[in-house]
Structure 1
Amino acid sequence: MKIADFVVLTLCFMLPTALTASSWKFERAIDVSGPNTGYFHHIDSSGRRNIAVSEQIIAIAWEDDRDGVPRIYLAYKGATDNNFNHDIRLSGGGEAYEPSLVALSGGRFVIAWEEDGYIHARMASLDGTPVLGPIVKVDSNPSSQVNLTTHGDRVYAVWSQRRGRFGRIHATDLRPNEKGVLKLGMACPVDAIPPTDEQLYPAAVISDGRLLVAWEDRRPKHTIIMAAVDHPGNPCRFSAAYRISEKPEIRGLPYGSGHGVSRVALGHYGHRGVFAAWEDKRDFRDGYDIWGAPFLSAESRFGSNVKLQDDFGGLAKQRHAALSGHRDGSLVAAWDDEREGNTDVVLSWQDDGVWSDDWLLPVASGEGHQSNPSIVLDTRGDLHVIWIERQDIGATTRLKYARGRRHIDK
């Protein structure tokens, strides 16, 4: 590939002495969807999983309203292809929102979404001529905000079910067969205690063979992040739910019932590592920041909260945190950031347990507004990033993609 096709990202414009031993190289950004003639893309799913890689196939799922109705679409390409294939519509005839996408082996993917107030899912085989499996309804009760995760070729779904007054997080497994049909396991609530307020926007990962779920919870009359982990061999029995977003120790701050948090994402890395990241308003002066916590697998709980963003982002707003990890222990975070006056995509990554200084992604920053990133590290360690681009707030959108490779200086 020609050198002109790459944008070499360096850290020297922020902190000349920081992380000089590593950087990233990103290919030029390309459009995922076709020419936009006046509609809007959305990649705002629970847990922010809208891109996945299986073998050498990169797939992306999103929602747009090109025909006047919000529907779910998918595009894909081979790792060496210059462009994405034509959009494939995944959802049915109803209004559909917030797709979540995961990869299986052999160029297969599973996608779940909300349609007409219920969670639906289907498989897509993209190795050769694309083949779509039948749509299945995951929950017969009103439900929304689905998130998918995988363990081998086993798929797990978590979502917010609204059978009573409040949303309640549920989980099940989805078992793909050779004909591309998803067989549903038993669905059960993650928190055994019936909710006294809303449970919303869950995210899940498999850690050490156990399903770990985190979500927004409003039981203390303000939003906190809670989590629970299932018991091995008993997928419908979870540990007692507990809070993972900490309450600040400083007294007298104008929080009301408490400071706000929002939209948790989970990333699995190494053999047993899991990290949670979310938007956090404990520094009430400047809107949301990005905070998180590591999962302590041996103790089956999350550790102390840490601030992911660096000090340069302290006076700006951050939103839409996404995470992805790798078997080698790498862990990358991405989010929206307004520190430069625009909305840009920022990356940070963890080296030896320490988060790097923040890095404005040149292919997703600068003039205009770039937001709502979703990321995934493939088996080689390449980082695949998608985001929404628009010239002005309220303008129609473009869905963009770029791939980056980690560069280690000698």
Structure 2
Amino acid sequence: MRAALGLLALLAMPGYAGWGWEAALEVNSAHGPAIFPHLESANRQGVAAAGGAVAVVWEDNRSGAPRCYAAIKPATAAVFQPERALSDGECYEPVVAPLGQGRFLAAWEEAGRVHARVLPDGPPLRLSAGDAAQVTLATGNGNIHAAWAEQAGAHRRIVVAALALDGNRLALARVQPVESGLPADGQAWPALAVSGSGGVTVAWEDRRAHHTVPMASRGDAGLAFAEPLRITDQASGGMNGLGAGLGAMRPKLATWKQGTVAVWLDKRDFLSGYDVYAAFDTGSGPFSPNLRVQDSFGDSLVQWHASVVADDTRLTAVWDDARDGTSDVWLANWEGSGFSDNVAVPAASGPGDQSDPVAALDERGRLHLVWLDRRADGTRVRYARAQWK
């Protein structure tokens, strides 16, 4: 506990005015009352930015079946280029990560396997040997990693891979389950973060305690993983004799000051539904004491689609909730010992239904946000960029 509290003090940073937002752009070209875009993916990784370029990936049913699409806005362009399909078949839960020099890495689920390819024109590579889903990616410091949930016996377990890149061609350099034994219950929705030393932290939803618990494992550059540990500081056990424990789901990781921060949805206040919680990786031993992210104005209602982005300067969490009567996108900034009062994103709030935010920071510290804007005539995938003022 003392080490964890010391870490929180170390993370303290001076206050800033906040994010200044540019005008929003539309990403998808196909809309209609019967076309439904989705931004749901492991680690909420639907947008990536580097070198001034931005890539967005999503899934929609415009063709009559689920297909994955990618749209890129080059550094010199004012708008997104027309989207392109990631694969030839039905496709689910795409993710994207930056590679630099206007290139990106995308991954997705197709035909019961997970695949990846370099954007804009690299050939696809099948990542999983067996039935798998919920792939995610992490890139940085010359390292490329992927993680997914792959069938192992009666349940799925989390697998992590190191990828090699030769031009536009990917190859599997190493594939390693986080735990070598068969899982006792389901593992799902992995998240990845890569450290400056090449180490990897992976988090996931775990049901070995017969309820959903966010767990994590630290791995070295060779993908040798330590014993998993709980991110949540809530013990398992039923409430008034009911259930095996409180629910928590969809962990998201980001690299922060050479460490890792986790954000997830947590139902410890079960009367109001899911809340957004965060914890810092202390480097050894347990994660830090858990911190609530949303402020008191959001405490009495449910939060959804939580994410976090971070760099060596700042940390921002985003999510959606309906505290103002309709679903809006909200954010909170880390202020040294807790999170700031919540702020609605200007273009992603107000009348109507704005939800499902995904976010990324680029190397210049700019925040890139994508969300769904639902209207009677169809749903738009929208994008906006912000600079810290």
Return the TM-score normalized by structure 1.
0.87
User: Per-residue displacement from partner, 1:175-233 (whole Å, max 9, x unpaired)?
Assistant: 1102x10011221211234211100000010124211000000111110011111134x
User: Per-residue displacement from partner, 1:142-177 (whole Å, max 9, x unpaired)?
Assistant: 000001001223210000001321010001011110
Q: Is the 8 A contact 2:25 2:383 kept in 1?
A: yes
User: Per-residue displacement from partner, 1:294-323 (whole Å, max 9, x unpaired)?
Assistant: 0112x2541111111111111111011111
User: Per-residue displacement from partner, 1:50-96 (whole Å, max 9, x unpaired)?
Assistant: 1111211111111111111111111111345321111111112x210
List gaps (5 residues or longer) in structure 2: 1-13
1:303 to 288, 293, 296: 288
* SS of residue paired to 2:155: coil
For 1:167, the aligned partner's letter is: R
2:24 to 29, 53, 56: 29
Correspondence for 2:62: 66
1:138 to 121, 127, 135: 127
Correspondence for 1:246: 233
In 2, the alpha carbon distance for the partners of 1:254 and 1:133 equals 54
In 2, the alpha carbon distance for the partners of 1:350 and 1:20 equals 9
Correspondence for 1:86: 82
1:108 to 103, 112, 128: 103
Q: Is the 8 A contact 1:262 1:279 kept in 2?
A: yes
In 1, the alpha carbon distance for the partners of 2:235 and 2:83 equals 46
Correspondence for 2:299: 314
Question: What pairs up with 1:6-405 in 2 under 5 angstroms?
Answer: 21-37=16-32, 38-79=34-75, 81-92=77-88, 94-124=89-119, 131-178=120-167, 180-207=168-195, 208-232=197-221, 234-235=222-223, 237-247=224-234, 252=239, 256-270=243-257, 272-297=258-283, 299=284, 301-327=286-312, 329-391=313-375, 396-405=378-387
In 1, the alpha carbon distance for the partners of 2:285 and 2:164 equals 26
Correspondence for 1:10: none
Per the TM alignment, residue 248 of structure 1 is displaced from its structure 2 partner at its CA by 5.8
Q: Which segments of structure 1 move beyond 6 Å, counting only runs of 4 or more?
A: none
Q: Is the 8 A contact 2:94 2:109 kept in 1?
A: yes
Per the TM alignment, residue 252 of structure 1 is displaced from its structure 2 partner at its CA by 4.7
* SS of residue paired to 2:130: coil
User: Per-residue displacement from partner, 1:344-378 (whole Å, max 9, x unpaired)?
Assistant: 10011112243111111121011111111000111
In 2, the alpha carbon distance for the partners of 1:277 and 1:144 equals 21
For 1:401, the aligned partner's letter is: Y
Q: Identity of paired residues, percent?
A: 37
In 1, the alpha carbon distance for the partners of 2:200 and 2:239 equals 38
Per the TM alignment, residue 380 of structure 1 is displaced from its structure 2 partner at its CA by 1.3
For 1:205, the aligned partner's letter is: A
In 1, the alpha carbon distance for the partners of 2:317 and 2:133 equals 25
Per the TM alignment, residue 43 of structure 1 is displaced from its structure 2 partner at its CA by 0.8
Correspondence for 1:15: none
Q: Is the 8 A contact 1:337 1:344 kept in 2?
A: yes
In 2, the alpha carbon distance for the partners of 1:247 and 1:362 equals 35
For 1:191, the aligned partner's letter is: E
In 1, the alpha carbon distance for the partners of 2:176 and 2:16 equals 47
TM-aligned CA distance change 1:220 to 1:26, over 3 Å: same
User: Per-residue displacement from partner, 1:226-280 (whole Å, max 9, x unpaired)?
Assistant: 1111134x32x2101111112269985575211101101001122x121101000
What number of residue pairs does the alignment pair up?
Answer: 374
Per the TM alignment, residue 49 of structure 1 is displaced from its structure 2 partner at its CA by 0.7
In 1, the alpha carbon distance for the partners of 2:331 and 2:249 equals 19
* SS of residue paired to 1:386: strand
* SS of residue paired to 1:67: coil
Q: Is the 8 A contact 1:51 1:375 kept in 2?
A: yes
In 2, the alpha carbon distance for the partners of 1:73 and 1:248 equals 41
Correspondence for 1:7: none
TM-aligned CA distance change 1:88 to 1:284, over 3 Å: same
Q: Is the 8 A contact 2:317 2:331 kept in 1?
A: yes
Q: Is the 8 A contact 1:229 1:300 kept in 2?
A: no
In 2, the alpha carbon distance for the partners of 1:303 and 1:80 equals 42
List gaps (5 residues or longer) in structure 1: 1-18, 125-130
Correspondence for 1:5: none
